[in-house]
Every structure is written in C-alpha cells, then in structure tokens.
Amino acid sequence: MNKPIRRVSIFCLVLILALLLRTNWVQGVQADAWASNSHNERNEYDRYAYPRGNIIVGGNPVTKSDFVNGLRYKYKRAWIDGPMYAPVTGYSSQAYKSSQLENLEDGILSGTDSRLFFRNTLDMLTGKQKQGGDVVTTINPKAQKAAFDGLGNKKGAAVALDPKTGAILALVSTPSYDPSTFAGGDPATDGKAWTALLNDPNKPMLNRALKETYPPGSTFKLVTATAAFENGMFQGPDDKTSTPDPYVLPGTKTELKNDSDTEPCQDATLRVAMEYSCNTVYGKIGADLGKDKLRAEAEKFGFNNDKIDTPIRAVPSYFPKNSTPDGTAMDAIGQHDTRATPLQMAMVASAIANNGTLMQPYLVDEERAANLTTISKHTEHQFSQPMKPETAQKLQQLMESVVQNGTGTKAQIDGVTVGGKTGTAQHGQDNSGLPFAWFISYAKGTNGQQVAVAVVVEDGAASSNEISGGSIAAPIAKSVMQAVLDK
C-alpha cells in the first residue's frame, strides 16, 4: 500500500471512530436531553399515537380519545360535558400543551410514568397496543352538576368538600369553556377558538375556584369569631359585646355602619351579631384583637399559604400583615385588603363542621394502570388545627342560627342540620362595582355524612346588604348540599 492510500485509510478510520463516539455520546449521554427538548416534535406525535388514559368521575370517564388517523396524530383528546368538568380536567391540546389534571397527571394518562414500566414492557412483548392509565377523582357528579347548573350564566365559582376527609366533591367555575374546541385536528379552527377564549373579557379559562381571590366580605366574620374565642375574649355564643352603633374606626372619624339602622347591633351578643351580620360588632372585635392575633388565626385556616396543592395549586388567599387599627377592623369583616379563594372559604366552613380539624383538600383519589391495577391511592392527612373542638362547636351554633333565624334561611334543608354565613363584598374603585355575593355553609345528614360548600357570584348582588348573599349564593349552596346528601 503506497503512502497516499495509507494516509487516506487512516483518515477515514479516524472519521469512523469520531462518528461512533459522537453517536454513542448522543444516544447515551445526551439522550434524555434530546428526548425532553421542547423543539422535539416527536414527543407530541408519540403522545397522541395511542389512546390516552381517562379522568374518572363517579366511576365513569369524563374524557376520551378519538381515533382520527391523521398524518402526524392518530388520536386526539375529547371530553364529556367539557365545560362542566374543565375546571377539574383542564385541557390537553396538540397545539397548546395541557393544563390542570391533564398536565399534572400526564405521566399516568400518557402511560409514560416510570411506575407503568412493567405494564408497558409486558404489553410490548405481547403485542398489545400501548395505552395510558386512569386518574380517579373525588368529584361527586351530582354535586358538580348542581353547582354548574346553579351558577348557570352567572360569573362565579363553587367548591364542596368532605370535612372528614378533605375530598373535593365539587369544583366549578363559570363561565367555562369546552376543551374539545382546540384539542387538535384543524389548526385554523383550533387557533380561532383558542384566540377567542384568550380574548374573552369574561375569562372563561380562569379557574375561579382555585385561581381567583375575592374580598370574602362577611363570611370572614367566622374567622374573626374563631380568633375571639381562641384568645379568650368571649366564652360563649350568647356573650354580650360592648359595641356602639355606629362604631368609629380607630384613629379616624369614619363611622362603620351596618346594613340597616333598625338592626339590633348595639351591644349585641355574638349570636345576634352573626345572625344580622353586624359590621360594627365584628369590626370592633377585630380591632380589639389586633392585626397579629387575627392574622395568626387566618393563617391557621390557610391564608398566606402559597403551597395549597389539590394537586392543582391554588393561588394564596391573603390576610395583610401591616394593617393600621382601622384597616384591621375592616379586614375583620372581610373588606380592606383581605382576599380569599372559594376553596379557602370552603376550608373555613369545613374546619368548623369537622370540630376544628382542617383536612388537606385533595382532588385525586387514585391513579391506576390501563388494566385497572392501582398505582397509587391517596392517604388523607390533616392540614391544620385552627381551633379547639369546643370552639368549633360554638361556631357551629352561630352558623346554624344564621340559617335558622338570620340572613341564610334560604339554605334550610328539611331533616338536615345546616350552618351557614352570608357575605356581600364591596369591590372596585371607591366600591363602585356591584358587590360579590357569598355563601359558605355545611350540612350534616342523619347518616353522619357531611359536606362543606363555598359559593361566590361576581357582580351578582343588586345591593350591598346581606340579603344578596342569602338570596343569590345560598340557594346554589343548598342545591349542592342536597346533591351530596341525596335530599
């Protein structure tokens, strides 16, 4: 072999060795990075190459996978009663990724979770088509429908919890959207639907139950009453307060008034003050307690906590740390800077109903493989202990008096113990917006079954008085409680 040929041979050998090294580097060391690269469209094609697992409600799927046999995608996601369940499921789109359970539980639903490795390997060896696993939710379909129908064309949200376990029984936000309209299939149609939803001023894709905070209005008076009992300010529901009417906010000349001059709020007992929702009584209690004690109690319920996962993470509810005394008086009646999600206020009602123990809210009961083998099962655990059992029993008396004799009579259910609290929250510049109507409640059936509910209706109150919360939001909460208790 002459010298030039030998040199060419050596050069070619070096190139082959370099190619082998590069191939092994890419396939061995960099494989995961390339596989997870956001520009790797193969991942998206693979996700829709086989049926996706389902999200289960009440034993039945509320999702499905439609066979479309497209050039790139073999299947696309579809939903049953999409608008009603969208706040639970979220969306899964070939063009716009995914959200909520469709995103958080993607490993199970797509079949890529490492816990499904054995199942997937067995299916591959037997020639069976790959298929994602299922996610079983805690949602009660009757309660979900009752909340969705009750809210109707109103803008608002509803959350129902099982106080004993923390299971989320209903999670509704209106107006809603149909995830099927942009799931895939026609880029032009999907893009038009997606853009319309993003530009809709009513924000149908906003999960108001978990991702929006509102001034809680008078529903927050339950937290204030809890703090008063826990700090020894009062001993029982019928203790008389020392409250002028009107009450001048500390350090100001501003009078805090009640809804009506005829309400018996001057020096009222805690029970009467809760029945009539006296601003003067609970505003003064808040100012007398002080911002630190009131905030400490609010935080026991979950306020200022940015890690409340259901597993969908809720935005934190807020109670201020640096209010002035007059601001604290307004915070104590759910105005000023206090803000809460509907989930947060359902947690308040739940803790009271459960004798002071607040359970961690959760939405996923079980994850399972396509052959129905259980992959994981939720374990209930306590979130906090906002109050002693004896304090909870006092709060129950107050809430039940509101439903029996006060502003919440429209929540009464025959043969069922119901406690509740109305709320009407001012908002907007100089309180110019129509008030938000609130109702939070619990119901206890004769068989020991319980449910706690929070409902908020945006711009739904015709006036600022407590009748609005009782007439607009309370009937919705009642229908949800009836659905859970089969009444």
**Within a 13 Å sphere around the CA of 91, how many CA atoms are in the beta-carbon half?**
22
Q: Phi/psi of residue 55, each to 5°? A: -95, 125
Catalytic positions are 218
**Within a 13 Å sphere around the CA of 41, how many CA atoms are in the beta-carbon half?**
5
